Chains A and B, each alone.
Chain A
Amino acid sequence: MKSFFALFTESPNSFQGQEPGERIVLFLRRHPFTILIKVIGISLGFILPIVVSIVFINYIIFYGFFYVYLFVVSVLALIAWIMIAYTVTMYTLDVWIITDTRILDSTQHGFFNRTVSELHMSRIQDVYIKTEGTFQTVIGFGDLFIQTAGTEERFMFYQIPQPLHVKDVIMSIAFPEEHKPTPPNS
């Protein structure tokens, strides 16, 4: 029982496939703002029909449909709840892990479609960030791209918080002689 509740207590991050002695430097998810927008959208889709139906509430009560109405609302809430849960699950399972030796990108494209790719620090050639739009600039999140050797595909981090700091951290690990990491929020 104690071990079950240990699932919810803070512990140092570890992941499947972690090598002995490998240290996690950064653990990243998309910026919470990106999920907040989706959750608000779904919630509005649920709340709007209820707000509209309140206009007809007298009619609903007069003809004895009040319990039917409550049941329909509860079913709508159930649908909204499961849609939010799915969205949050996809958000939670999309992670980027930066360790002292490599970068791991785990992306969930639906329940049964998942890609995990990794890149060793020695293969990094160039790192650059892209912040575009009002929200990204004001709130402080953006995309980060890692160019690897040869014709290999770029490694991409989407909508991560503080991309400049992340870039500095990656550069300081990949090229320790030339780069020193800047503190976050700078």
Chain B
Amino acid sequence: MLALNINLVLLGLVLIIVLSYWIFVFIIFYHLVRFGVGTLPKTLSAFFVLGSLVLFSTCVFLFSTINFGALTQQTLQSINGTLQKQ
């Protein structure tokens, strides 16, 4: 039950961070298109949203490749290895 709650909290945190990120992206996009004079702000806004999309997808993909089950084991191994060397 406790583990489930921790997972829920973590999931909630990730959701808040992701949502905040996309709200921030939207605000920047809106400001550039709404208040920008000339074509430069519009071009920049398109470039920025595209870059955000690519980087965000990369982050999600790399996050999905992490094996969280083995992460604790690996961390313990690395700590033990470092201690044994010392």
Contact = CB atoms under 8 A, between A and B. Distances in A.
B55 A77 contact: yes
Nearest to B63: A71
Interface in B18-75: 21, 24-25, 27-28, 31-33, 35-44, 46, 48, 51-52, 55-56, 58-59, 62-63, 65-67, 70-71, 74
A1 interface: no
B77 interface: yes
Contact of A65 (B31, B40, B46, B74): B74
Contact of A108 (B35, B71, B77): B35
A135 B64 CA distance: 47
A82 interface: yes
B78 interface: yes
Contact of B66 (A13, A27, A68, A95): A68
B21 A93 contact: no
Using C-beta atoms within 8 Å of the partner chain, give the interface range for chain B.
Answer: 35 or more
A74 B63 CA distance: 9
B58 to A, nearest CB: 5
B59 A74 contact: yes
Nearest to B74: A64
A82 B24 contact: yes
Contacts of A92: 32, 36, 40-41, 44
Contacts of B55: 74, 77-78, 81
B41 A93 contact: yes
Contacts of A88: 44, 48
A92 B39 CA distance: 11
19 contacts: A7-B33, A7-B39, A8-B39, A64-B74, A67-B65, A68-B71, A74-B58, A74-B59, A74-B62, A77-B55, A78-B52, A81-B52, A81-B55, A82-B28, A85-B28, A85-B48, A88-B44, A93-B31, A106-B35
